[in-house]
Amino acid sequence: MEDTNSLIEQRKAKLAALRARGIDPFQNKFTPTETCAEARDNYVEGREVSVAGRITAHRDMGKSMFIDVRDQSGRIQVYAQKNTLGDELFSIFQHLDLADFIGVKGALFTTKTGEISVKITNFTILAKALRPPPAKWHGLEDTEIRYRQRYLDLIANPDVKDVMLKRSAIIHEIRNFFHERKYIEVETPVMQPIPGGAAAQPFKTFYNALGCEFYLRIALELYHKRLLVGGIDKLFEIGKNFRNEGLSRRHNPEFTMLEAYCAFGDYATMMETVESLIKHVAQKVVGKLQIQRNTSALRKHLEEAVHILSAQIIPTNPTVSEILQNLKRLAQEVSLRSTVEIAKEACALCEKAHPEISAIVGGGTSGLLVPFNLMDVAKNFSSLTSKDSEPIDLSNWRRAKYNDLVKEKTSADWFTISAAERRQHAHDMGAEIGKEFEDFEVTNAVFSKFIEPTLIQPTFVTHLPKELVPLAKLSPDDPTTVEVFECCINGQEI
């Protein structure tokens, strides 16, 4: 806490120094000509650009300085030279800190290491940050802070921001998909006199004008079915629901639900709709149907390896310098290539660098810390080369009946043996079974623990037991099951 307070005081002193020089460190407006990503993507040597964003890296080299500026689109390196800016502007530039917002103008060029950069001729301080950002290499790891202060999570963890931006694009494409299929988007009441459509505890509120209690909706279903009765044949809604039932990292009482209805169809119609919807969104948002898994872990390990190899004198070794550049290249290819392929290549690079670094740092205990750390990272890469990191293939969808999957995992006679035998068998397997569980719940406990988590690739589980979905239509071929489906894609990270 004392270190943090000291840094805050230093930043306040810089703020006061800027104001003493007649500089407003909280400018109202700066209009960039393009984003950081656009500047990089449309590179032309010497082209004048104007970009703005937050300072996320800072390297002082005496009469010149490098900073990284990051906006919503990404980052770009900025080069400030005393000879170009002049003594006055360069002195002001030295008052900048990590997390400050800045607007810069200058010309594009490429450094000796191949980094696209902006050599600035002018800049504007847009906002002075009085608190230091989270540590660069460790990020923001405190789970409590991450969930309570989302803005800090967005600053410290680029993957979190990427998820947020992708979510916006996904919602956009969901709407496009249903509009193209002539579905009508509707809005139904959030406050309802009688909550229904699901079994859940509602939130209560009081409607002053009517003098009575109302409830925040727990589901969209009942109002949608009324619209079907009224003659709206195809409809959908993306809306908030509220269920007053606990709180956890994976369970938010306020959540967004997509619900769609199509008259004159059945469960097979909706299976096709769900499959087509997911394919459409993946193709539009990600650009492909093979979705890489464990990319966040891969990025983190690549950053760790680059950090280790960038330390102190190590880059002076030509072999290590080449390995460092290759690791940086792999970091840029994470979303373009297979996680398994990149992890294998990165692991081999770390193992190749290990003896080189050992020779550089010597045999002392402290000297061996870096190569030991590098081998730890190599082990992390190795853990990402298993089948569990293979991509999700959205072009290939399996359809399987619930009972068939259960029999594959247990035994062919599972549904013909007695209920007591099923309970004992499930217990022996390690399923979590309560004393009050009915027979169908015993089977579902086996399904939930031993079958559902293994359905990594897209799978429609059909014909569930009627007890699990009591209001669904009975299957004509087997009245013990109903014509419904569950879509399972159990990648740990997609």
Find out whether 450 and 407 touch, Cβ atoms under 8 Å. no
Find out whether 105 and 122 touch, Cβ atoms under 8 Å. yes
Q: pTM of the full predicted structure?
A: 0.80
Pick the CATH number of 2-127 from 3.40.50.300, 3.65.10.10, 1.20.1730.10, 2.40.50.140: 2.40.50.140
- Strand, coil or helix: what is 40? helix
Strand order, beta sheet including 184-185: 184-185, 234-242, 254-262
Q: What is the pLDDT of residue 313?
A: 47
Distance of alpha carbon 307 from alpha carbon 311, whole angstroms: 6
Q: What is the pLDDT of residue 367?
A: 45
Determine phi and psi for 340, rounding to 5 degrees: -60, -45
Hey, what amino acid is at 409? K
Domain-by-domain residue ranges, the chain?
2-127, 185-259, 295-389, 397-488
**DSSP assignment string, 262-288:** ETT--HHHHHHHHHHHHHHHHHHHTSS
Listed in sequence order, the residues at least 6 apart from 221 whose beta carbon sits closer than 8 Å to its beta carbon are: 196, 197, 198, 259
Distance of alpha carbon 178 from alpha carbon 238, whole angstroms: 11
Q: What is the pLDDT of residue 159?
A: 76
Q: What is the pLDDT of residue 375?
A: 81
Average pLDDT, the chain: 88
Listed in sequence order, the residues at least 6 apart from 33 whose beta carbon sits closer than 8 Å to its beta carbon are: 49, 50, 51
Q: What is the pLDDT of residue 308?
A: 78
Low-confidence ranges of the chain (pLDDT < 70): 1-4, 135-141, 311-316, 359-372, 388, 491-494
